[in-house]
A = this chain, B = another copy of it.
Amino acid sequence: MNSFGRLFRVSIFGESHGNGAGIVIDGCPPGIPFTEDDMKADLARRKSGRVGTTPRTEADEPHIFSGTFNGHTTGAPVTIFFHNTNTRSRDYSQFVSSPRPGHADFVARHKFKGFTDYRGGGHFSGRVSLGLVAAGALAKKVASPMVVGSEILEIGGQKDYEALIVKAVDEHDSLGGIVQLTVDRVPIGLGEPFFDSAEALLSHMVFAVPATRGIEFGTGFAAARMRGSEHNDWIKTESGETETNHAGGINGGITNGNQIVFRVAIKPTSSVATPQDTFNFDEKKVKTMVVEGRHDACITLRVQPVLEAGAAIVMADMLLTARMWQETKQTPTE
């Protein structure tokens, strides 16, 4: 469903070509300085405009609709909304009868019984991730002093990918990529096994983000080819610093104080303007189609800040949850 988190809990909503998109953040501690400006840097990083991103440009102007007062969070739910402005919906109606390969068109047709808002992908659109980035800006403050970082390791299999993207755009095709996420200054003890291990919560969030295909922590899939004697991280200090970090900062599902490291595989955007076969429900037969419209040739570029935001939201939630076993501080009246 459209909510996630135990205590720092986000509820996402919105569509690509409807009135807009947004998010409600529940459980945010009171007293955190937060205004629209605090979201702008991350929102700018998610924006299109660069080579390889869609020509559709939106203002992406966030509006805080609830939960702040005098520039600070109040403890009540924080709602952030983005109006849609630059929508061009005529491109999409055809996909109802002619579902695009690699898209949600076919499954949406079934699950939502023909009532989906198909314009621009509706609720399946990457535009919905705006809310996540907005909430991530607040989550980063809540999770402080933890610091979430990210890096694109490769696009189309290459570290040096600029020319590759230009070529893909020219050929009306698309590329995938790999993003590495890190979290520094992590307290020891976050994560609630058995089921809510740190990896379980982070991966749950990562696979909510459209276009993700894989995740690995620490040495990840390479660990499957290592021996235990190689893979184990030797503990060097009383506060748990390890010589290596094959575990990616997590043991037994609980953060060990070292840097959290994980990598996410992003598939190539499904929307490509090359001819493709699909089943046409009007004509009841397979037909070739070409997907027009404004699309991202390499969504990895724009997913990076979304993944960062998602990671920050999970870290904030794990932090708040881990406090449950602290002693209760007697709040003085004044």
Contact = CB atoms under 8 A, between A and B. Distances in A.
Contacts of A31: 113-115
Nearest to A264: B224
Interface size class of A (residues with CB under 8 A): 35 or more
Nearest to A7: B324
Given A24-B24, A128-B194, A232-B101, A176 B66 contact: no
Interface stretch (A37-45, A53-61, A133-141, A201-209): A201-209
13 contacts: A1-B9, A6-B6, A13-B78, A65-B81, A101-B232, A102-B231, A123-B194, A176-B223, A200-B208, A204-B204, A224-B300, A226-B267, A235-B279
A305 interface: no
Interface in A55-73: 63-69, 72-73
Nearest to A200: B207
A150 interface: no
CB-based closest 3 A-B pairs: A104-B252, A214-B216, A174-B228
A328 B189 CA distance: 11
A334 B281 contact: yes
A183 interface: no
A15 interface: yes
B323 A328 contact: yes
Interface string A17-32: 0111110101101110
A103 interface: yes
A48 interface: no
Contact of A208 (B99, B193, B239, B265): B193
Contact of A207 (B1, B199, B235): B199
A72 B112 CA distance: 11
Contacts of A284: 238
Interface string A72-109: 11111111010000000000000000011111101110
A49 interface: no
Contact of A228 (B195, B224, B271): B271
A178 to B, nearest CB: 5
A69 B115 contact: yes
B189 A197 contact: no
Given A216-B214, A270-B232, A13 B65 contact: yes
A319 interface: yes
A212 interface: yes
Interface in A216-272: 216-221, 223-240, 242-243, 247-248, 251-256, 265-272
B15 A9 contact: no
A267 B176 contact: no
A184 interface: no
A53 to B, nearest CB: 14
Contact of A221 (B75, B265, B330): B265
A12 interface: yes
B174 A101 contact: no
A270 to B, nearest CB: 6
A11 interface: yes
Contact of A331 (B110, B194, B265): B110
